[in-house]
């Protein structure tokens, strides 16, 4: 059953109030608001409808405004959570890699806190592979994708996506290394190398690490299968994220450094977490984008990595 308050937001004035709520999400407290006729022109309604819409938002506790004579009308206070709900923007959904490491858990924890601080309902879905997450973004199934800056740059050059944020070095991975099954020589002919083609980073790094070797047998796999593949001697080597590698792969795998030319070229972009969105952008993301505190993301990620905070996402 629709309450009296809800019924008011189904009227012409109420619809204007919902549109105004979305616009007011982009205004700071104690700043002058556009003139009524400017709002009216943007919403294609009359001045009286804008005035009534603002009054509805005030009555709902979403905003408080004050007229200051010739200086105009100022936004005294805004409850972003209420404005968000009034605007009907829904929940923002971000796609991340599977949270198999504390670094990813910390990243998810930080993102959740940053969006909550900005007054936006937020949720995370976990998907293996940057290409899978990209497809979900392009199809409109998610609003944001988390991946490495290296992958983000490559994908942005071929698809209608744009960079929202680069969180800095070692926010995505600490480093990558070459994993070799203990007792197997790297020079072994017919070396079986696991590769996850859905991961832009790992595919490119593996290609560079074994460049010039036509004797390598590529074994398509998921990084979640690596422990079993190494244990059953189904693969001999791979390139992988070294975060917590000993916990995931056990003692029968040794870690070798990648070639200096690879680490020099890719270390920074490969280790940085990036957020990308569709170039046209979802209305909800545009409404919250300027309010996101990415320093909070990295702060909380660091606390999770140091064991000072329990992951919450």
Average pLDDT score, the chain: 88
Rounded Cα–Cα distance for residues 269 and 146 (Å): 13
Asked if the model's pLDDT at residue 3 lies above 60, the reply is no
Identify the residue with better confidence: 28 or 233: 233
- pLDDT value of position 4: 45
| Interval 204-226 mean pLDDT | 89
- pLDDT value of position 139: 95
- pLDDT value of position 1: 33
- pLDDT value of position 196: 87
Q: Do 22 and 287 meet the contact criterion of CB atoms below 8 Å apart?
A: yes
Reported as half-sphere exposure (CB side, CA atoms, 13 A), residue 111 has a value of 28
Please, where are the H alpha helices in the chain? 4-8, 12-24, 36-43, 47-59, 80-87, 102-117, 130-138, 149-156, 200-209, 226-231, 245-249, 260-271, 283-288, 294-305
Kindly indicate the confidence band of residue 6, based on its pLDDT and cuts at 50, 70 and 90. Answer: low
Rounded Cα–Cα distance for residues 144 and 138 (Å): 10
- Among 150-154, 280-284, 293-297, the least confident range: 280-284
Q: What is the pLDDT of residues 12-29, one digit of tens each?
A: 888 899 899 988 988 888
- Residue 162, SS3 per DSSP: strand
Identify the residue with better confidence: 286 or 65: 65
* pTM metric for this prediction: 0.77
Identify the residue with better confidence: 259 or 50: 50
φ/ψ of 18, rounded to 5, equals -65, -40
Q: Which helix (H) or strand (E) holds 32?
A: strand 31-32
């Amino acid at each position: 059953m629709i309450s009296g308050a809800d019924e008011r937001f189904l009227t012409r004035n109420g619809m204007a109030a919902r549109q105004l709520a979305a616009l007011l999400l982009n205004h700071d407290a104690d700043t002058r608001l556009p003139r009524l006729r400017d709002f009216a022109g943007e919403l294609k309604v009359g001045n009286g409808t804008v005035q009534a819409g603002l009054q509805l938002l005030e009555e709902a506790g979403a905003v408080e405004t004050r007229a200051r004579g010739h200086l105009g009308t100022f936004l005294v206070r805004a409850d972003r959570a209420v404005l968000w709900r009034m605007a009907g923007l829904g929940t923002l959904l971000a796609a991340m890699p599977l949270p198999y490491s504390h670094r990813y858990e910390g990243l998810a924890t930080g993102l959740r806190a940053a969006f909550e601080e900005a007054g936006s309902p937020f949720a995370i879905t976990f998907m293996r592979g940057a290409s899978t997450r990209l497809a979900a973004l392009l199809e409109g199934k998610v609003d944001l994708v988390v991946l490495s800056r290296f992958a983000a740059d490559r994908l942005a050059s071929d698809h209608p996506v744009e960079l929202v944020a680069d969180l800095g070095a070692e926010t995505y991975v600490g480093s990558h290394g070459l994993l070799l099954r203990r007792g197997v020589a790297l020079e072994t002919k017919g070396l079986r190398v696991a590769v996850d083609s859905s991961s832009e980073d790992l595919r490119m790094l593996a290609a560079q690490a074994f460049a010039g070797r036509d004797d390598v047998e590529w074994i398509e796999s998921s990084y979640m299968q690596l422990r079993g593949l190494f244990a059953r001697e189904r693969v001999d080597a791979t390139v992988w994220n070294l975060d917590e590698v000993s916990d995931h792969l056990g003692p029968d795998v040794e870690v070798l450094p990648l070639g200096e030319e690879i680490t020099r070229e890719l270390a920074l972009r490969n280790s940085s977490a990036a957020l990308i969105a569709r170039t046209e952008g979802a209305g909800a993301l545009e409404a919250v984008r300027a309010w996101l505190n990415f320093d909070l993301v990295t702060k909380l990620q660091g606390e999770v990595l140091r064991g000072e905070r329990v992951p919450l996402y």
